């Protein structure tokens, strides 16, 4: 009886705890793919987590197995029986894992994935916001699998069985062995503890046996030594767990210094009314916290670049026409791939260095940047032409349709090592601001103030940028100059703009964009660079700068009754460089031929006239139309319904006409688990006046647990005989996961269903008979054990 109770209790407690406290990344994966594969995926990930995660990296599994085995040992109190029973608990998760995997395969076959695995990436739903490649790499068990698949893909070689065994199978089996050791040790500790505690319960046990008519041979006397004997066991258990529970953190340290200095600021408006601002600063003495460009990690590094970004797929500017073809399946679900991009990335590019050596040096560099920006960096991949078929030195034909680049290119002996971090941009802004060379004043102080005001931090305020990218790093300009072809026009121009020094040049900067930076009316658009930055002080260059540049570019069209006539873009350039030098003649001539160019040369430290960065221009741009998509309620139980509302608001001063709203692709990735049960997903209105809002509402039933990312709604409208479009953001609905008992029951039901299909017409008879036989055998054994307990043999 005690073994059966211990096994059943161990199964229940371990699965419930593993299910309830599943690793957050595995939980996010289950939420992402749960609508496709059902709760069996959550059960599978829970069992994988309990069986094969490293207990010294993920201490929760160690605590679960230690606690369950300790309890089992206390209940069973047999030095052989307790470890065997607890190992039985561990092993029973294997058939549960197999049943979950079979259920997932069955679901995959139902939705057509088994027949067309090549469409897997196009079929998977969008990856939820916040689940990046770095998170997947750090996930227990599956992280190692993803890393090995990526390494095989970048090397261009198919994984061999030996590679699979050595790099994937052996490590997870070793983790399982660690868990088994914990189980055995904890069970034996439980046995000793149980024997010492048993005296506490002896009076009740003997009294119960006497009332049931059994023989009593043991006195129900004192148990005075129980606690004293148990104390060493508890202390040993605490010492065993202490290494598992320890964690270490590192505080950031950031300092700045000065040296050679250049600064630049760029403002740009595209034909869709999206406004962009970019800034960059270079210094051959730039100090980036703990990063030492003279360390061995930077040896033979052409460039080291740290990037942190805060952007969302639905808030990206419209994609330009790509100069190369992208497979349709990949474009169909590009959001999934974009959301995988880590929030922060470190790229290290080495020249004439073997991949293994480059990885070692990049690891040192990554540690320095991690400390400086307080962003833990995880290795992602290494890429080198030497890994590809053809290798270094091969001359390959390169042709890009639509680009003025054709001919043959020779692959350089370059190795790129990438690291990633889940640290968001908002957590790194303070460190970034400390690295900015504000001691030089000028544009660096301007950008510092804009960051401090929140104008460049997405979500910080209603007028903040929709997206921002921060970057910092070092460039070996001497190596770059040596790599340029001697007969290239850039070999004459770049030395005038970029210093060639024996030391690596540090650089830091950012780029931001506003989706509605400029909109209607069509006449006299105003692009005010300072207004976007949320500042009023005039722009002034630094007096320390060797090169200061301000560039503003806007469209320029003429609107007539017959349509829009495109003109040359307006380009205002203010710089401290003397562009009359002959070396700059090709550059100036090219700009004059393609733009409406205005060039102003000023002295270092000059205050820039407002007319250079406040530009009035004419263009037919999209109106200020807001499309929103909301779900209510956001969370439901499996089989529940949510109401989706899509609203179109005209926030402009002019009406829009012939308005089409289409949200029919909302549940395109969830056709097997989501159904529209009422309402309309499309609408048409002849006209929407300024300040007016129109909306549609429909109901969706969601069957499986997980996170449902409803795709953006699309709106098309006309204005001044031109057609424009707008989209909403995605909307999220959450279907709550079943309880641990419910998930376990559904998995067992899958096993019953599979067995029924395999046995055919006699399935009910066979399965019922098997269950009855098991119950009878267990009942007989437990009845025999009860009789032995009731009438134990006399002592001695």
Give the domain-ending residue among 617, 634, 655.
617
Residues 753 and 682 in one domain: no
Q: How far is CA 83 from CA 91, 97, 189, 192, in A?
A: 12, 22, 10, 12
Q: Tell me, rounded to whole angstroms, the distance of Cα 561 from its chain centroid.
A: 49
Residues 629 and 580 in one domain: no
The percent of residues in the chain predicted with pLDDT above 70, rounded, is: 73
Specify the pLDDT at position 593. Answer: 79
How far is the C-alpha of 6 from the C-alpha of 43, rounded, in Å? 22
- Cβ distance 541 to 444 under 8 Å? no
Buried b (16+ CB within 10 A) or exposed e, 235-267: eebeeeeeebeeeeeeebebebeebbbbbbbbb
Residues 406 and 479 in one domain: yes
- Cβ distance 655 to 687 under 8 Å? yes
Q: Say which residue, 677 or 485, is predicted with more confidence.
A: 677
Cis peptide before 633 (omega within 30 of 0): yes
Tokens of 530: 């300072």
When pLDDT is cut at 50, 70 and 90, the band that residue 219 belongs to is very low
Please state the pTM of the whole predicted model: 0.77
The percent of residues in the chain predicted with pLDDT above 90, rounded, is: 40
Mean pLDDT, to the nearest integer, of 216-234? 44
Specify the pLDDT at position 403. Answer: 37
Mean pLDDT, to the nearest integer, of 388-397? 45
Residues 185 and 303 in one domain: no
- Cβ distance 75 to 85 under 8 Å? no
Residue 407 lies in a domain: yes
What's the pLDDT tens digit per position in 155-166? 555 556 666 666
Specify the pLDDT at position 259. Answer: 55
Strands 395-399 and 406-410: antiparallel
How far is the C-alpha of 618 from the C-alpha of 566, rounded, in Å? 10
**Which helix (H) or strand (E) covers residue 557, if one does?**
strand 557-560
**Which helix (H) or strand (E) covers residue 198, if one does?**
helix 170-211
Residues 401 and 314 in one domain: yes
> Residue for token digits 């004043």?
441
Q: Say which residue, 558 or 37, is predicted with more confidence.
A: 37
Domains of the chain: total = 3
How far is the C-alpha of 257 from the C-alpha of 612, rounded, in Å? 31
What's the pLDDT tens digit per position in 549-574? 999 999 888 776 666 777 888 899 99
Question: Range of 60's domain?
Answer: 2-247+739-790
Q: Is the pLDDT of residue 637 over 60?
A: yes
Give the domain-ending residue among 735, 759, 779.
735
How many other C-beta atoms can be found within 10 angstroms of the C-beta atom of residue 234? Answer: 13
Specify the pLDDT at position 563. Answer: 64
Residues 731 and 749 in one domain: no
Q: Say which residue, 225 or 84, is predicted with more confidence.
A: 84
Give the domain-ending residue among 716, 735, 754.
735
How far is the C-alpha of 183 from the C-alpha of 57, rounded, in Å? 17
Highest mean pLDDT among 129-138, 357-366, 570-579: 357-366
Specify the pLDDT at position 616. Answer: 87
Residue 59 lies in a domain: yes
What's the pLDDT tens digit per position in 367-377? 999 999 999 99
Specify the pLDDT at position 786. Answer: 61
Q: Which residues contact 145 (CB under 8 A, 6 or more apart)?
A: 168
Residue 601 lies in a domain: yes
**Least confident range of 220-234, 285-299, 735-749:** 220-234
Strands 682-688 and 635-636: unpaired
∠ CA(410), CA(411), CA(414), 5° rounding? 145
Specify the pLDDT at position 556. Answer: 84
Q: Which of 668, 624, 628 is nearest to 126 (CA)?
A: 668
How far is the C-alpha of 677 from the C-alpha of 127, rounded, in Å? 25
Specify the pLDDT at position 225. Answer: 44
**Which helix (H) or strand (E) covers residue 147, if one does?**
helix 142-155
Specify the pLDDT at position 157. Answer: 59
Residue 257 lies in a domain: no
Residues 551 and 642 in one domain: no
Residue 27 lies in a domain: yes
Q: Say which residue, 376 or 77, is predicted with more confidence.
A: 376
Q: What are residue 373's phi and psi, to 5 degrees?
A: -100, 5
The HSE-up count of residue 336 (CA atoms within 13 Å, CB side) is: 18
Residues 383 and 488 in one domain: yes
Specify the pLDDT at position 495. Answer: 57
Q: Which residues contact 589 (CB under 8 A, 6 or more apart)?
A: none
CATH number at residue 699: 2.60.40.10
Q: Which residues contact 1 (CB under 8 A, 6 or more apart)?
A: 782, 785, 786, 789
Residue 255 lies in a domain: no
What's the pLDDT tens digit per position in 324-333? 455 544 555 5
- Cβ distance 295 to 371 under 8 Å? no
Q: Tell me, rounded to whole angstroms, the distance of Cα 239 from its chain centroid.
A: 36
When pLDDT is cut at 50, 70 and 90, the band that residue 784 belongs to is low
> Which runs of consecutive H residues, i.e. helices, occur in 275-407?
328-332, 334-339, 355-373
Residues 294 and 375 in one domain: yes
Task: Provide DSSP, 633-648.
Answer: SSEE-TTEEEEEEEEE
Query: How confident is the prediction for the chain on average, in pLDDT?
Result: 80
Q: Say which residue, 782 or 453, is predicted with more confidence.
A: 453
How far is the C-alpha of 561 from the C-alpha of 542, rounded, in Å? 47
**Least confident range of 227-241, 553-567, 655-669, 670-684:** 227-241
Q: Say which residue, 782 or 677, is predicted with more confidence.
A: 677
Q: What are residue 190's phi and psi, to 5 degrees?
A: -65, -35
Residues 743 and 676 in one domain: no
Residue 442 lies in a domain: yes
Residue 81 lies in a domain: yes
Residues 731 and 746 in one domain: no
Residues 208 and 332 in one domain: no
């Amino acid at each position: 009886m005690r073994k059966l109770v211990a096994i059943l209790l161990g199964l229940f407690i371990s699965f419930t705890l593993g299910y309830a406290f599943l690793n957050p990344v595995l939980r996010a994966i289950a939420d992402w793919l749960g609508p496709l594969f059902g709760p069996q995926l959550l059960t599978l990930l829970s069992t994988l987590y309990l069986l094969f995660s490293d207990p010294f990296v993920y201490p929760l599994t160690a605590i679960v197995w230690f606690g369950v085995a300790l309890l089992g040992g206390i209940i069973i109190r047999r030095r052989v029986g307790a470890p065997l029973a607890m190992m039985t608990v561990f092993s029973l998760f294997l058939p549960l894992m197999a049943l979950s995997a079979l259920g997932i395969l069955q679901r995959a076959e139902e939705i057509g994935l088994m027949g067309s695995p090549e469409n897997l990436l196009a079929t998977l739903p969008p990856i939820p916001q916040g689940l990046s490649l770095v998170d997947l790499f750090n996930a227990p068990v599956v992280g190692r699998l993803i890393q090995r698949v990526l390494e095989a893909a970048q090397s261009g070689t198919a994984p061999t069985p030996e590679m699979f065994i050595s790099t994937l199978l052996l490590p997870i089996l070793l983790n399982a062995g660690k868990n088994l050791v914990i189980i055995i040790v904890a069970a034996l500790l439980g046995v000793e503890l149980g024997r010492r505690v048993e005296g506490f319960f002896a009076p009740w046990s003997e009294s119960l046996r006497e009332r049931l008519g059994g023989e009593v041979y043991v006195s129900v006397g004192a148990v005075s030594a129980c606690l004293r004997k148990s104390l060493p066991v508890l202390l040993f258990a605490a010492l065993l767990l202490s290494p598992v529970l320890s964690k270490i953190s590192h505080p950031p340290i950031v300092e700045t210094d000065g040296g050679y200095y250049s600064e630049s600021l760029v403002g740009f408006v595209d034909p869709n009314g999206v406004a962009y601002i970019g800034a960059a600063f270079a210094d051959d003495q730039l100090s980036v916290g703990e990063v030492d460009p003279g360390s061995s990690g930077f040896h033979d590094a052409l460039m080291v670049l740290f990037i942190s970004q805060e952007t969302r797929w639905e808030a990206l500017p419209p994609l330009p026409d790509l100069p190369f073809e992208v497979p349709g399946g990949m474009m169909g679900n590009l959001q999934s791939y974009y959301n995988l991009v880590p929030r922060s990335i470190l790229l290290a590019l080495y020249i004439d260095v073997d991949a293994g050596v480059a990885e070692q040096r990049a690891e040192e560099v990554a540690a320095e940047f991690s400390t400086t920006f307080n962003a833990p960096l995880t290795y992602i991949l290494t890429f080198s032409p030497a890994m590809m078929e053809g290798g270094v030195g091969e001359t390959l034909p390169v042709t890009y349709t639509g680009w003025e680049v054709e001919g043959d290119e020779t692959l350089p002996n370059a190795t790129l090592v990438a690291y990633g971090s889940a640290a968001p941009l908002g957590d790194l802004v303070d460190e970034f601001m400390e690295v900015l060379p504000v001691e030089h004043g000028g544009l660096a102080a301007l950008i510092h103030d804009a960051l401090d005001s929140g104008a460049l931090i997405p979500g910080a305020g209603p007028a903040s940028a929709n997206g921002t990218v921060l970057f910092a790093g070092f460039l070996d300009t001497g190596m770059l100059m040596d790599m340029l072809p001697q007969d290239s026009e850039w070999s004459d121009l770049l030395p005038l703009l970029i210093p060639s020094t024996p030391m690596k040049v540090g650089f830091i900067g950012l780029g931001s964009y506003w989706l509605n930076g400029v909109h209607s009316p069509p006449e006299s658009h105003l692009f005010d660079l300072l207004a976007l930055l949320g500042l009023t002080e005039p722009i002034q260059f630094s007096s320390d700068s060797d090169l200061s540049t301000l560039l503003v570019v806007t469209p320029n069209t003429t609107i007539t009754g017959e349509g829009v006539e495109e003109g040359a873009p307006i380009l205002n350039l203010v710089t401290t460089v003397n562009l009359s030098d002959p070396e700059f003649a090709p550059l100036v001539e090219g700009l004059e031929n393609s733009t409406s160019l205005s060039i102003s040369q000023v002295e270092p430290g000059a205050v820039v006239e407002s007319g250079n960065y406040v530009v009035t221009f004419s263009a037919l741009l999209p109106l200020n139309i807001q499309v929103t998509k909301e779900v209510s309620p956001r969370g439901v139980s499996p089989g529940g319904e949510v109401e989706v509302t899509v609203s179109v608001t005209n926030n402009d001063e002019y009406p829009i006409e012939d308005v089409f709203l289409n949200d029919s692709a909302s549940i395109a990735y969830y056709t097997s688990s989501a159904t529209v049960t009422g309402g309309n997903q499309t609408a048409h209105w002849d006209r929407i006046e300024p300040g007016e809002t129109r909306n549609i509402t429909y109901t969706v039933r969601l069957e499986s647990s997980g996170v449902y990312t409803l795709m953006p709604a699309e709106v098309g409208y006309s204005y001044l005989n031109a057609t424009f479009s707008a989209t909403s953001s995605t909307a999220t609905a959450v279907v709550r996961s079943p309880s641990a008992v419910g998930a376990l029951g559904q998995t067992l039901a899958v096993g019953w269903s599979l067995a029924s299909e395999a046995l055919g017409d006699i399935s009910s008879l066979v399965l019922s008979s098997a269950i009855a036989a098991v119950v009878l055998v267990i009942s007989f054994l437990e009845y025999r054990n009860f009789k032995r307990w009731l009438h134990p043999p006399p002592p001695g």
